[in-house]
Amino acid sequence: MDVPAKHYATAQDWTRLQAVIMRLYLDEDKTLEEVKSYMEEHHEFTTTISMYKKKLAGWNAFKNLRPDEVLQILYLKKHRDAAQKPSVFFIRGRQVDHDGLLVYLSRNLSILAKLKAGATPSPEAVRDVSCRSPLNQSTLVARSRSPMSLCPTPTVRCNRLLPTSEDMFRALPIYLERCFETGLWSWSESSCWNTRGRHGPAGLLSSILDRCITAGLSTARQVEPSALRQALDAPFAMLIRVFRNSPPILIPKLLSTAMHLDRIGRGEIRGLLLQFCRDLTIAMYGRDHQLARFWRSLVSISHPDQQDAIERVLTLCVSEYDKRLGPAHSLTAEAYLKYFDAVERVKDPRMQLQSLQQRLSNIDNKLTGRSLCGLLKLEHALAACKSSLELGRLNEAEDALSRLESGSLAARDESFRCVWLGYVQCLKGDFATAEGFYKESVLAARRTGSRDCVLEALFQLETFLIHTGKPLEAERIRTERFRLLRKLGSLVWVDQEDILGLEDRTSGPIVTMIHIGSGASSTQWRPSASAEVAEFATASSFVL
């Protein structure tokens, strides 16, 4: 009997299963032999130990400490001890185990000699090592300040999760699996949608989250409280509608937006958004539903640790969609883009380029969709632009973005590209050309038909005019932006679904306007309010 030849892993297999391998090796602390056996048994993934070592090194997936990294930890520890600050250390975002660090130092005393001699860590170690104060400083035990006595063992190891986090990562796969298996989500070769609302809920969710970003940008310019409340009321109200008919991209989009709000300095809106998701799922499904358990667990994690939890969740979503639909599927590509926006965007541009190149190699223009392909290419061009900017190569940075055909991009993405082209021209000192690009960004935003997109483009133009010493023109743009902000009414949703069991309606598409938490006469905004008012009319009587 002939034994079938082994099928060794291809480059596509490595990309498709990267998240699984990283989880087994780093998060579950398996040896390479255990990872190899698991992958062969569960994924028919065959390769050699030496290939695992090569790939993990390329992914910066190092489990063992390296001398320069430990030296950088000791330098950081020395300076923070001088300031009487307790510390927790991280290497490439993963928390360093205190006991393991002490064992390493006891076996490599030359590191202490290098510290005493003033040796300099490598640039890579300086970049990859970070630290911050532990969460519960009052519970830390004071220790001597010698390099051997580093910070006390943290409550959470880098490869272990709190019980609440473990519950979250148990609940999420069950939720995703049930949505697929019960028929709530349906899919074709290139699309995945909610069977009750098809693609509509995902589009509505995008509008909701755009409005949250609008509110975040508006508060940076001290907008009137009533306008801010109006901007937040509408999207939070419509989340009720979305959660009743949840699209497959729900969790990745919400978490990516939460991280974006953090980046623009609107952490309080981010917190309210996550808390509202928790309150909403509990009210709709009860505390024991998988989706409610997920949001309860996520919100219960302290803010400093939510970044790591969100990164893990987004990685899991990409892996689950990849496993079920394939890497070229539109849902997988969109989930990856949300992961990229929340996680990869803050990394070194060279690492961004590597990640995007791997994803682009799996893309099929016929399956993935033109707009998603265009956005992936834009992100790749932007990473190349940032990499060139770091090296001071302004012309190469401009070329990276200019080579993209604007016709291949959605209007929203073209607006984003123009903003970056304007920024590069600012660096080159050509403010006239830069202003032209910022104004083109506004024009592209207007083509989207989204007031929220226009408001963001106007914000960028206003900031540019302030920077270049044109306060009167900036004030004119600000006035236009505030006038447009005040015109933002309730979001509307058009479909045929039976709403609230009401039968006395006209036939045809129904427009539902939901108001929650506050009204024109409200003095406070109540994000946890759950009462809703629905108004019905034929679609033809509204101007959308």
The DSSP output letter for 131 is: E
For residues 300 and 322, the answer to whether their CB atoms sit within 8 Å is no
Residues contacting 87, CB < 8 A, separation 6+: 76, 77, 80, 131, 132, 133, 134, 150, 151
Distance CA 368, CA 179 (A): 21
Question: In which residue are the tokens 């223009």 written?
Answer: 365
> If you search the block for the tokens 């309860």, which residue do you land on?
296
Q: Which of 223, 317, 313, 219 is nearest to 272 (CA)?
A: 219
* 287, 290, 364 from 224: Cα distances, Å: 36, 39, 47
HSE (CB half, 13 Å, CA atoms) of 105?
A: 21
Enter the tokens of residue 412: 């929203």
- Which residues are CB-neighbours of 88 under 8 A, at least 6 positions away? 95, 96, 131, 132, 133, 134, 151, 154
Is 525 within 8 Å of 229 (Cβ atoms)?
yes
Whose CA is closest to 355, among 378, 336, 332, 328? 336
Contact 499, 537 (CB under 8 A): no
DSSP calls for 269-326: HHHHHHHHHHHHHHHHH-TTSHHHHHHHHHHHS-HHHHHHHHHHHHHHHHHHHHHHH-
Helix axes 290-300, 163-181, angle to 10 degrees: 150
Rounded Cα–Cα distance for residues 414 and 401 (Å) = 10
Confirm if 242 and 250 have CB atoms less than 8 A apart: yes
Under 8 Å CB-to-CB from 511, ≥6 apart: which residues?
492, 493, 494, 535, 536, 537, 538, 539, 541, 542, 544
Neighbouring-strand partners of residue 185: 194
Residue 540: half-sphere exposure toward Cβ, Cα within 13 Å = 3
User: Is the model's pTM score more than 0.85?
Assistant: no
Residue 510's H or E segment, with its range, is strand 510-515
Over its length of 544 residues, how does the chain's per-residue pLDDT go in tens digits?
444 456 678 877 887 888 788 888 876 778 888 889 888 888 888 888 888 888 887 776 766 678 888 888 888 888 777 777 788 888 866 778 776 777 677 667 778 878 877 777 776 677 678 777 764 433 223 222 233 333 332 233 333 444 456 788 889 999 999 999 888 898 888 889 887 767 778 888 888 898 888 888 776 555 566 666 667 777 887 888 888 888 999 999 999 999 998 888 788 888 889 988 998 899 888 999 999 999 999 999 887 788 888 988 999 999 999 989 999 999 999 999 999 999 888 888 888 998 999 899 888 877 788 889 999 999 999 999 999 998 889 999 999 999 998 788 999 999 999 999 999 999 999 999 999 999 999 999 999 888 888 998 998 999 899 888 998 999 999 889 888 887 776 564 443 333 333 334 344 333 333 333 333 333 333 333 323 333 332 333 322 2
